[in-house]
Amino acid sequence: MNTLNTLNKNQLTVEGGQTLTLENNIYKIQQGDESLRNRILKAYQPFIKKVVSKVCNRFIDRSMDEFSIGLVAFNEAMNQYRKGQGSKFLTFADMVIRRRIIDFIRKETRQAKHIFLDYVDSNDENGLEESFIEQQVAISHYEEQQQIEERMVQIEEYEQMLLQYGITFNVLSKHCPKHVDARENAKVVARILVNNDKMVQFLQKKKRLPIQELLTYVRCSRKTIERNRKYIIALALIYIGGFAALQSYIEPETVS
């Protein structure tokens, strides 16, 4: 069985010495060569990832939904490509992928009522580029929605983790130090704790701070640690749980 040996611009070389243009290979696929279809899909995954990443304005890897949509769109392009339509197959495939990704973004951002993306005719090679501003608005809104959803998921997970230590958001709000210096000191203590595996294990097992151990690493008093105990635990759990969306709670504060 023939297999792809090289991928050179718009040509594919198959075993046996025969070199066919990509367009000719697409016509063979349309005639029922499913083995060739699978090989071309595999060979052009970098191209698909590049187009999808460009539309989304961020890196896309093979595990993401956007890449899967791009792969399906490339396969769709292989089925729809026709002779004499005035463009190379990759130009046509680029357009189909872009449209499907933008469809996906529009679906995810359907609440943004004033976003309109004008589609161009599939035969118009000069109209491949969608409105840059509209595309960027759609993408920005989509990414913002994704961040909001991710933050909500992390907040729920964080809330459940806090409950294991007898801490609720209401209790935490009451135990948050009022002064910036006190909060910064608590952050220092929390960072020291999470960088020590033994103290992390103690916290997770006992559900309380390893105060005696902490006192050997920090400058503040036992009384200070005990007074801010719940706040320190809460900060440490953000580190331990890897809650990136809550990072602002553990970043240094600036005094205006």
Contact 19, 9 (CB under 8 A): no
The gap from C-alpha 44 to its chain's centroid, in whole angstroms, comes to 22
- What does the domain layout of the chain look like in residue ranges? 4-144, 164-249
DSSP per residue over 60-110, as a string?
--TTSHHHHHHHHHHHHHHHH--TTSSS-HHHHHHHHHHHHHHHHHHHHTT
Amino acid at residue number 252: P
Tell me the residue ranges of DSSP E strands in the chain.
4-8, 11-14, 19-21
How far apart CA 218 and CA 221 sit, in angstroms, is 8
| Phi, psi for 21 (deg, rounded to 5) | -70, 160
What are the beta bridge partners of residue 6?
Answer: 13
pTM of the shown model: 0.48
Q: Which residues contact 196 (CB under 8 A, 6 or more apart)?
A: 213, 217
Beta carbons of 111 and 149 less than 8 angstroms apart = no
Q: How far is CA 33 from CA 3, 11, 26, 96, in A?
A: 12, 17, 9, 22
C-alpha–C-alpha distance, residues 47 and 54, integer Å: 11
Q: pLDDT by residue for the chain (256 residues), tens digit each?
A: 343 443 444 545 444 455 678 889 999 999 999 999 999 999 999 999 999 988 888 888 888 889 999 999 999 999 988 876 556 889 889 888 988 888 887 777 654 444 444 444 444 444 444 455 555 666 666 667 667 767 777 888 888 889 989 999 888 888 888 888 899 999 999 999 999 999 999 999 999 999 999 999 998 899 999 999 999 999 999 988 888 778 776 676 654 4
User: What per-residue confidence (pLDDT) applies to 120?
Assistant: 44
